[in-house]
Structure 1
Amino acid sequence: MNSVPRQRLVVIGNGMAGMRTVEELLARAPVRYDITVFGAEPHPNYNRIMLSSVLAGEKQIDDIIINPRAWYTQNAITLHAGDAVIGIDAKTKTVTAASGLRVAYDKLLLATGSKPLMPPLPGLDLPGIVTFRDIADIDKMLAAAEAKQRAVVIGGGLLGLEAAWGLKRRGMPVALVHLMPTLMERQLDTEAGTLLQRDLDERGLHFFTSGQTERIIGSERAEGVALADGRTVPGDLVVVAIGIRPNVDMGKAADVDINRGILVGDDMATSDPDIYAVGECVEHNGQVFGLVAPIWEQAKVCAARLAGDTVASYVTPALSTRLKITGIDVFSAGKLAAEDDGDEEVVFRDAAKGVYRKLVVRGNRLVGAVLYGDVADGGWYFDLIKGNKDVAEMRDRLIFGQGFADQDCCGGSKAGLNVAAMTDDTQVCGCNGVSKGAIVKAIGEKGLTTLDEVRAHTKASASCGMCTPTVQAILSFVTGSDAAAPEVMCKCTDHGHDHVRHAILDQRLKTMADLREALGWKTADGCAKCRPALNYYLLCAWPGEYVDDYRSRFINERVHANIQKDGTYSVIPRMWGGVTTPAELRAIADVADKFNIPTVKVTGGQRIDLLGVKKQDLPAVWGDLNQAGLVSGHGYAKGLRTVKTCVGSEWCRFGTQDSTALGIKLEKMMWGSWTPHKVKLAVSGCPRNCAEATIKDIGIICVEAGYDMVIGGNGGIEVRVTDPLTRLTTEAEVLEYSAAFMQLYREEGHYLERTAPYLERVGLAHIKARILEDDAGRKALYARFLFAQSFAQDDPWAERAGGGVDAHEFQSLAVVS
């Protein structure tokens, strides 16, 4: 029996709309077509709406790639990137590219996107003028930022504001010129637009509203803009971001019907039944498109039709708007103001918190919403608008959000969890067009249990991150576990530890000020709970770049001493693996005599503790100890404390390996590594386990065949015995595997979370997968640990252990908590 030959599908446009259609088509009819894709840009498919995040330094180009080149290969798609189509012959059904390549088609998909609107201004052809549409534009703007130039952005809509903010984040002075009196007038009412301008003005952007650009200033290159009212705005870079218009060039080449855009019917076909079109290039029922939500729906309908569905029809969905400026939350949907006599506006303002809400109600139906400062209920309001739901029963509580509106007069909940009230078609992730139903289905079918798994399988929350709390809530709701919900760090933020750590890396945040601004911290300087955590997370993420903020450390870490109940301090010099020398003992004894230290005690970690040191003596005590070669034992630190050893094979008749020497090697490799909480190690020379390795964060038990590595022990109030990880054969393996586990804990642990609760939270299987099953990943963790250590052991804090801080600084230190 002969198989049906594949038809030939040619896609012109390698952007989001075209490739989303191809993805949907492959899901429906994976072998129906041989697919050829032409793209004008030399890149694989990327998320164009995340260009603002790249410009702001929050993401890299690689981070916004949707379909890498390997995806095209895996799906047998022929990609011609950087080779634009210049001609279409609809009679012979062929397309011709700029390279001269000619390709025949049975079906043709036009997904050519849009072009930036360019006003007819004198000087618009000067060097230094750039639009904001693609990666090439980003490269030009980044080059200008690197040269420390000034920028003028023309346009105060979504695109212009995101361009202005991105350039500001790159360190450029930025002025924004907008024709209208308030910003984003198509998406926000006057009140919200005014609040937005106020907040952006406080962030350092300069605004020229009611400003009609008359011409570009400059003769050899752009030097700014001149406004019709006589004002001038200087700038070395002029970004034009006033809007877009459909790119209909290929529609003209194909001789299909065109108005403002390429005209399509409900089936997404053009006037030529073998030519389809999707995205910003199309016009449907008199409407053109610039947001992703309707384009994702177009992709579904077009793919269904190409797959043979004769029923699928496109209906323009209701639209909502969000602004991707970190730390500023804006949402709007439907009507921005009352339009009919029967319309009512319900308004809530909280000036102190910068919160504004306006709802437009028509005949007990919500028809519009504008939210500023707190947009958590935006999705719920959007569902009410889309569903044309009767809100009469909750009318008096509607403005306060779902949490209040769902309660009856006795305080009981009518709808239960917010997630339960969401319909399956509720769009959760606008960047990637992922609905609640798609997330729920993936969690159920694939057994997903973590946010990272949901991101990997659905792309929800994988781009700008604004939907992360909703995705977390859905995950928690479906799995029935509160573990999926993020633990809020403190009262200063609504974010959990994992979200903050992801944001630091994804948005390349490298100072506490940038981090608090980017994530919308509620208090300007944070608090005693979040400051140490943020300091650690930044230090862990950017070794060698981030400057440790000592003022965000606890007093014990700052003075290298433990405060005691009588107000004195204890000082613990480090003894590598519990081994000392007569010279070190003499130095400790001399210090105890010189400063009248009342108590000298051997600790449980095989070190000597000097107790009762006066605060004013701490610098001199450390100075004398340092001269004897003794460094801080960090008996107070959120870092490596001790590596306890027994005498092992060197002295013990039962010893199988040299546990003392191995313990010293581990301690010298790891000392100075800041961690989420204190870390203790032990190396026992035989299975008799005299060093108590089975209640340490990392334990090594020497056996005849090598070394058993165990992890996650805790000898504190809640004793936890370690879990066995693996058996190793050489000391080199012990060092590599131990450092890899330590780095994994450093990168994934929550601040003030010991390895025992960390292990229980992520699971032993997860750690084994990262350390044992992924050789390349383990070696990468080991390399990152050594890289961080190359800075840690040379950092100023290490010198402080030797008295590198004068008495005046010690006197001025304040306890963090």
Structure 2
Amino acid sequence: MHKEKIVLVGNGMAGVRCIEEIIKNEPERFSITIFGSEKHVNYNRILLSSVIQGETPIKDIFIHPFEWYQHNNIQLFTGETVVHIDTNIQMVSTDKARKVTYDKLILATGSNPFILPIPGSNKEGVMTLRTIEDCQKILIHSNKYKKAVVIGGGLLGLEAARGLLHLGMEVKVVHLSHSIMERQLDTTASKYLQKELENQGISFLLKKETKHIVGEDRVEKVVFKDGTEIEADIVIMAVGVRPNCKLAKENGILTNRAIIVNDLMETNIPNIYAIGECAEHRGTVYGIIKPLYEQGEVLAKHICGKPTKGFRGSVFSTKLKISSVDVFSAGDLNEKPFSQTLTLFDELDQVYKKFVFLHNRIVGAVLYGDISDHTRLLDMIVKKTDFTETEKALLLDSSNENKSSITEMSHSSIVCNCNNVTKETIMQAVTLKSLSSVEEVKQCTRASGSCGGCQPLVEELLTYTNSDDFSEDILPQAMCSCTTLTEDEVVEEIQNRGLKSIAEVMAVLDWKKKEGCQTCFAALNYYLVMIHLDYEQSESTIYVNEMMNATVQEDGTYSIVPQMYGGMTNGKQLRRIADVAEKYQVSTIMMTADQRIQLRGIRKESLINICKDLNMKLMPFQGNNFASITAYEDDDDGHAEKEKLLNFSIQLEKNVEFLMTPYRMEIGVAPYKHNRSSFASKDIKIIKQDASWEIYISGNEGKNTIEELLTAAQPDDEALSILCAFFQYYRETARYAERTLKWAERIGFIHIREVLFDQELRRTLLQRLADDKLKIKKMESLHA
């Protein structure tokens, strides 16, 4: 079988992660070749500063051994650089005269350390910290020389300085700005950090601009433009990096600061892509690992033909990797109009916290001294979480009494931001594979495998999961006792094998009970409906069309529920229902929980005539198979407001009526001032607030009612569009009998928002909703 050829230029973290994802999606489809200018296999460049700080041996920073490349049939060329791309015949050439053709070319050339263009910068002893060779060179020089100067007071410069101090050197940090890490920290946090590093032994020379480096063959002094100078045996340049886009520029690929790419990581040349530090997306070049991994995952899905929303950017965050120094920042710390800033100074415990809010949503945070909550904060910034004034105040609490317990984290909470690993993923791995060390967790889940900032949280979670106190239900459950497969596995098999009936599913997948049970029969019926548009259901109901929809009862009689949009009716409808009930001697008339009238005890021979006389649409009343919408009013609302509320409810119900759902969904629509306790049990709560509609996902956990704001939307058409797309996405991705809140927690609120706010994805969902509605219309015409 002919395999498509993928060539990856760059053997770094972003590029190889993309290859991992491609192999995971399509393990046999591609022939893969990787070129790396360095002589090593893929390694974690982020941990180089940890190596010189003595915390990590060099052998532990390698991500994949040669055996991994061999096992995955990857042709790896190390110490070899691609120097030319022939975009016409799709071929790359290397500095060793090797020529390789490609179908898809991925550029992941990374970046190069910036060397100040000053006299003496090429002297012996002037170094950078970018590669394993740089790291080894620093270790060798530290054995012979003692005076080190680090030019650059940013993240890498400070980590390098702390490493040189560990190696026994006298360290001075030179920085052009008035404060260190000024891009990531505010002035207060910067001063706290500087003071702590000075206490450890590092000296700082701020507001200094280097003029030249003096020495015979090797560095002896660093001279500044103000006329001062300092002695130096080695100089570490840590003044930033520049995207390595030379290859792209020379071969007609569009560049700006870096290689310009779209949301699918495509360049302007067909079949050529760029990811990582060499790529510029929407004017931004990322140097932190999380967005680079996200880019790789997006590109892998795109190349494999899998649906993807594309890369939409990421939140910048920083965590300093220096032992005994806890510093974290994320998001936008700049104060703007309408922004609100909360700060905490705890001189006794040396704790400083600053939070920036815009319209009650957290947009930035900086922590010093206590960063135990940094993972949750980053999640909140990404999700743009709304805060009440009380919740804002709790963020400033530095006492141990109110620290969030790991047991209070939801299963979908992100533990490792770099690799997007959730609490549930780690707990499942620890339980199923009997993991007992952080290293084993890292190998199994990737958690703590990049920057290492989440390692304390991973260790805490590991200890908790292996303790006697652990009682959380996280193991995958079989669909029912009839099979050993989980629901996700069953759905995957139905799709992959093209199974089209319940009997076929049970036969092919070796069901233990040939006839199944009530649980799996209902679930399989639902999944087959959702997967195959032409699937004909076989249910315990009579379904002719929307005018004749009845449910069989245990005693053999039938029940019907006339449709009353929004739970509203009028005298004419009520008289018609009453007349029919009297004429056909309907034994029971009752109100349902969602404000509808149900007629029960209808004899089979009377059913058709009752439906004709009513001449009203009938709601399905089959447990999980529909959504009901109830409108709530307040007496002091004006007529116009009541009309808006009712019209919105009716429009929403008309869009989703008669469609099957994984679990019976109840929706409440109410004005903002309405007493919410009256619709506390609703799965979706829609609150009219002035001109906008606030949409909440709701549910109960124990005695507590949980509400999560999905979004606030206006005008009405936009809110309806979001709600209908949400409804369809729930139908397509939830497990059978899974409530909306549990579903949202499992797949993540942020993911749901990303899907709904993506205009293209929303249009796709709305089209599929319309297709499903059309399917019901066709069924009606067939049965009428």
Give the TM-score band, short-chain normalised. 0.5 to 0.7
* 1:302 and 2:285 aligned: no
CA distance in 2, matches of 1:484, 1:39: 47
Corresponding residue of 2:409: 421
Corresponding residue of 1:370: 366
CA distance in 2, matches of 1:401, 1:302: 42
Contact 2:36 2:77 in 1 (8 A): yes
Corresponding residue of 2:84: 87
CA distance in 1, matches of 2:420, 2:170: 34
Contact 1:267 1:314 in 2 (8 A): yes
Task: State the secondary structure of the residue aligned to 1:67.
Answer: coil
Amino acid in the other structure paired with 1:354: Q
| TM-superposed deviation, 1:77 | 0.6
Q: Cα–Cα, structure 1 residues 162 and 425, in superposed 2: closer, same or farther, change >3 Å?
A: same
| TM-superposed deviation, 1:267 | 0.4
Corresponding residue of 1:526: none
* 1:110 and 2:98 aligned: no
* 1:49 and 2:60 aligned: no
Amino acid in the other structure paired with 2:19: V
1:461 paired residue among 443, 448, 454: 448
Corresponding residue of 1:333: 330
Corresponding residue of 2:190: 193
* 1:250 and 2:238 aligned: no
1:176 paired residue among 154, 173, 177: 173
Corresponding residue of 2:383: 387
CA distance in 2, matches of 1:466, 1:257: 35
CA displacement, residues 146-200 of structure 1 (integer Å, 9 cap, x when unaligned): 1133111100000111111111111111111000111100111101111111111
- Residues 613-628 of structure 1 correspond to what in structure 2 (within 5 A)? none
- Residues 257-656 of structure 1 correspond to what in structure 2 (within 5 A)? 257-340=254-337, 342-392=338-388, 393-400=390-397, 417-418=405-406, 420-422=408-410, 424=412, 426-428=414-416, 430=418, 434-436=421-423, 438-443=425-430, 446=433, 448=435, 451-462=438-449, 465-475=452-462, 481-482=468-469
2:10 paired residue among 8, 13, 25: 13
Identity over aligned residues, as a percent? Answer: 41
CA distance in 1, matches of 2:155, 2:286: 14
Q: Cα–Cα, structure 1 residues 48 and 433, in superposed 2: closer, same or farther, change >3 Å?
A: farther
Amino acid in the other structure paired with 1:297: E
Q: Cα–Cα, structure 1 residues 422 and 315, in superposed 2: closer, same or farther, change >3 Å?
A: farther
CA displacement, residues 44-96 of structure 1 (integer Å, 9 cap, x when unaligned): 00000000011222222211000111111111111100111111111111111
CA displacement, residues 18-68 of structure 1 (integer Å, 9 cap, x when unaligned): 111111111111111111100000000000000001122222221100011
CA distance in 2, matches of 1:9, 1:465: 31
Q: Cα–Cα, structure 1 residues 419 and 336, in superposed 2: closer, same or farther, change >3 Å?
A: farther
CA displacement, residues 2-21 of structure 1 (integer Å, 9 cap, x when unaligned): x4x21111110001011111
Contact 1:359 1:366 in 2 (8 A): yes
CA distance in 2, matches of 1:77, 1:461: 26
Task: State the secondary structure of the residue aligned to 1:66.
Answer: coil
CA distance in 2, matches of 1:195, 1:110: 40
- Residues 687-702 of structure 1 correspond to what in structure 2 (within 5 A)? none
- Residues 118-267 of structure 1 correspond to what in structure 2 (within 5 A)? 118-267=115-264
TM normalised by structure 1 equals 0.55
Q: Cα–Cα, structure 1 residues 54 and 350, in superposed 2: closer, same or farther, change >3 Å?
A: same
**More moved, 310-319 vs 47-56:** 310-319
CA distance in 2, matches of 1:217, 1:427: 48
CA distance in 2, matches of 1:438, 1:224: 53
| TM-superposed deviation, 1:380 | 1.7
Task: State the secondary structure of the residue aligned to 1:57.
Answer: coil
Contact 1:443 1:454 in 2 (8 A): yes
Amino acid in the other structure paired with 1:391: F
CA distance in 1, matches of 2:233, 2:23: 47
5+ residue gaps, structure 1: 407-415, 486-817
Q: Cα–Cα, structure 1 residues 227 and 422, in superposed 2: closer, same or farther, change >3 Å?
A: farther
CA displacement, residues 491-518 of structure 1 (integer Å, 9 cap, x when unaligned): xxxxxxxxxxxxxxxxxxxxxxxxxxxx
Amino acid in the other structure paired with 2:370: D
Amino acid in the other structure paired with 2:138: M
CA displacement, residues 292-322 of structure 1 (integer Å, 9 cap, x when unaligned): 0110110110111111125340011222210
Contact 1:35 1:76 in 2 (8 A): yes
| TM-superposed deviation, 1:459 | 3.0
Q: What is the aligned residue count?
A: 471
Q: Cα–Cα, structure 1 residues 132 and 339, in superposed 2: closer, same or farther, change >3 Å?
A: same
* 1:99 and 2:96 aligned: yes
CA distance in 2, matches of 1:220, 1:396: 59
Contact 1:337 1:345 in 2 (8 A): no
CA distance in 2, matches of 1:442, 1:265: 35
CA distance in 2, matches of 1:481, 1:82: 51
CA distance in 2, matches of 1:386, 1:87: 39
Corresponding residue of 1:724: none
| TM-superposed deviation, 1:404 | 6.8
| TM-superposed deviation, 1:438 | 4.0
Amino acid in the other structure paired with 1:371: L
Task: State the secondary structure of the residue aligned to 1:88.
Answer: strand
CA distance in 2, matches of 1:394, 1:405: 12
CA distance in 2, matches of 1:422, 1:156: 38
Contact 1:28 1:307 in 2 (8 A): yes
Amino acid in the other structure paired with 2:353: R
Contact 2:5 2:30 in 1 (8 A): yes
Amino acid in the other structure paired with 1:382: L
CA distance in 1, matches of 2:152, 2:420: 26
Task: State the secondary structure of the residue aligned to 1:374.
Answer: coil
* 1:73 and 2:70 aligned: yes
Task: State the secondary structure of the residue aligned to 1:50.
Answer: helix
CA distance in 2, matches of 1:401, 1:149: 40
CA distance in 1, matches of 2:116, 2:105: 32
CA distance in 2, matches of 1:293, 1:402: 30
CA distance in 2, matches of 1:273, 1:425: 38
Task: State the secondary structure of the residue aligned to 1:347.
Answer: strand
* 1:61 and 2:65 aligned: no
5+ residue gaps, structure 2: 473-784
CA distance in 2, matches of 1:98, 1:402: 59
CA distance in 2, matches of 1:433, 1:380: 13
CA distance in 2, matches of 1:474, 1:484: 13
Q: Cα–Cα, structure 1 residues 283 and 422, in superposed 2: closer, same or farther, change >3 Å?
A: farther
Task: State the secondary structure of the residue aligned to 1:163.
Answer: helix
Contact 2:35 2:80 in 1 (8 A): yes
Corresponding residue of 2:32: 35
Task: State the secondary structure of the residue aligned to 1:125.
Answer: coil
Amino acid in the other structure paired with 1:428: C
CA displacement, residues 722-748 of structure 1 (integer Å, 9 cap, x when unaligned): xxxxxxxxxxxxxxxxxxxxxxxxxxx
| TM-superposed deviation, 1:470 | 1.4
TM normalised by structure 2 equals 0.57
Task: State the secondary structure of the residue aligned to 2:89.
Answer: coil
Q: RMSD between aligned alpha carbons?
A: 2.4
Task: State the secondary structure of the residue aligned to 1:139.
Answer: helix
CA displacement, residues 729-775 of structure 1 (integer Å, 9 cap, x when unaligned): xxxxxxxxxxxxxxxxxxxxxxxxxxxxxxxxxxxxxxxxxxxxxxx
Task: State the secondary structure of the residue aligned to 1:151.
Answer: strand
